[in-house]
Amino acid sequence: MTPAPLHHLEDDRLKYLNSFVVQPEVPTEDLDQLLDVACRLLGIPKGLISIVERDVVHFKSQYGFNLPPAPRNLSFCSHAIASDQDVFYIEDTRLHPYFKHHPYVKAEDPVIFYAGVPMMDSENLPLGTVCVIDNKPRKLSEEQKDSLKMISQLIMRQMQLRKEKLKLEKKQTVLKEKNAMLKNFAHVVSHDMKMPLANMIMTSDVIRQKYADKLDAAGVNYLTGIKSAAFSMRDYIDNILTHYESEHMVINTGDKFDIHTVLLNIEEMLGMRQDFIQFLLPEENMEMQCDESAVEQVLVNLVGNSLKYNHRESIRIQVTATECDKYYRISVIDNGIGIPEAKQKEVFKLFTTLNQADRSGKIGHGIGLSTVKILVDKLGGVIKCKSTLNVGTTFTFTVAKHVGQS
């Protein structure tokens, strides 16, 4: 018996094999089914899907066999992957000059017929074989050979898909671990940063009260500035955390709610029930099925901005809502300060600001609308801005309907 020669690119083949995350001891049902189809289609009682490693051959799937891993130097599959034939095919091993003395041919249940197709990757390197075996001589027609080659290609695709799936699962696990660490780190840092800010706010109040008779107008202004800066930094930290959590938010598509209830909650949350604020809800209520929390967060940001960036004595904010075949469309329309045309495409980028003070005289951090964009993307929609300076702004966003909704 002559041992099989090595593949002419054996080092590259083994390198590819090692990158394949092969788990030969864990057969998969889809491979078993494809091997079953191959054997039944050809009318042959036994078959194997083999993985040819450096010194051993593992069997990813077996039909009519229950074999342990085999030494590579005894494997027919080693010959198949080293061959330049599409189908390595032996009608009767007892008549073959290289195999007639093979121990598998002399065995009690002998290998008399063998046909193996190398499973080739995209670089034309063989991972192993799909082979069919019988203990009596056989012939295969060209049509049968073609069928075996096609099934081999399907099996290889399944294995490549499994490889990619395992890689993605591994990456996902690593990302989840990193995200958990980052989230914990962010909250620790947030706590550690906000504590000194709270002390600054409290200390400035204490100084103002305790030394009121000794502070002149300039001193009071300094303390007010310190307190305002501390509040601004605290808001900045909170907004950064909200932005981070939005990026990693898992969307729940099963919530059922109505838009009026969400908007009334926002009206109360933002303290909008005042004479100088006109808050107009959609004329007709709209039932929605999507992530209520995400939609509410988007609307809190948009309505909150309409409220803050408005210097008029009478503020008008209108919300419209329309249900379409595949999505919901919601608009928030205000009579605020407006957004310069040059900035309208940039407002959804993180840290982009208009450099304009809000109703309280504060400059924004450029985080809110970036968070809104992330949430709308996660909701399967898009968001657009249309604005005229000193007239008002309209933000329109869509939310994809849950699969199965009409």
Q: What was the pLDDT predicted at 232?
A: 67
In three-state secondary structure terms, 210 is: helix
Output phi, psi for 93, to 5 deg: -65, -25
- 306 and 399 in a common domain: yes
Output phi, psi for 83, to 5 deg: -80, 155
- 287 and 401 in a common domain: yes
Domain boundary among 146, 168, 190: 168
Q: Which residues constitute the domain of residue 164? A: 10-168
- For residues 401 and 329, the answer to whether their CB atoms sit within 8 Å is no
Provide the CATH number for the domain around residue 267.
3.30.565.10
Provide the CATH number for the domain around residue 101.
3.30.450.40
The one-character DSSP state at 387 is: E
- 164 and 268 in a common domain: no
Output phi, psi for 188, to 5 deg: -65, -45
Kind of pairing between the strands at 56-63 and 46-52? antiparallel
Spell out the per-residue pLDDT of the chain, length 406, in tens: 567 788 888 888 898 888 765 554 455 788 999 999 999 999 999 999 999 999 999 999 999 999 999 999 999 999 999 988 999 999 999 999 889 999 999 999 999 999 999 999 878 889 999 999 999 999 999 999 999 999 999 998 888 888 888 888 888 888 778 777 766 766 666 666 667 777 788 888 888 888 888 888 888 888 888 887 777 677 766 766 666 666 666 677 778 999 999 999 999 988 898 999 999 999 999 999 998 989 998 999 999 999 999 999 999 999 999 999 999 999 999 999 999 988 888 888 877 777 677 777 777 767 789 889 999 999 999 999 999 999 999 999 999 996 445 4
- For residues 67 and 59, the answer to whether their CB atoms sit within 8 Å is yes
- 267 and 145 in a common domain: no
Residue 164 lies in a domain: yes
Q: Give the number of domains in the chain.
A: 2
Q: What is the DSSP string of 33-81?
A: HHHHHHHHHHT-SEEEEEEE-SSEEEEEEEES--PPPEEGGG-HHHHHH
- 25 and 162 in a common domain: yes
- Cβ within 8 Å of residue 363, ≥6 positions away: 353, 355, 356, 357
Domain boundary among 168, 184, 204: 168
Q: What was the pLDDT predicted at 406?
A: 43
Output phi, psi for 350, to 5 deg: -60, 135
Q: What was the pLDDT predicted at 212?
A: 84
Residue 151 lies in a domain: yes
Residue 53 lies in a domain: yes
Q: What was the pLDDT predicted at 104?
A: 93
As a whole number of angstroms, the distance between CA 114 and CA 93 comes to 8
- For residues 50 and 129, the answer to whether their CB atoms sit within 8 Å is yes
C-alpha closest to that of 152 among 281, 48, 27, 263: 48
Residue 230 lies in a domain: no
As a whole number of angstroms, the distance between CA 203 and CA 83 comes to 83
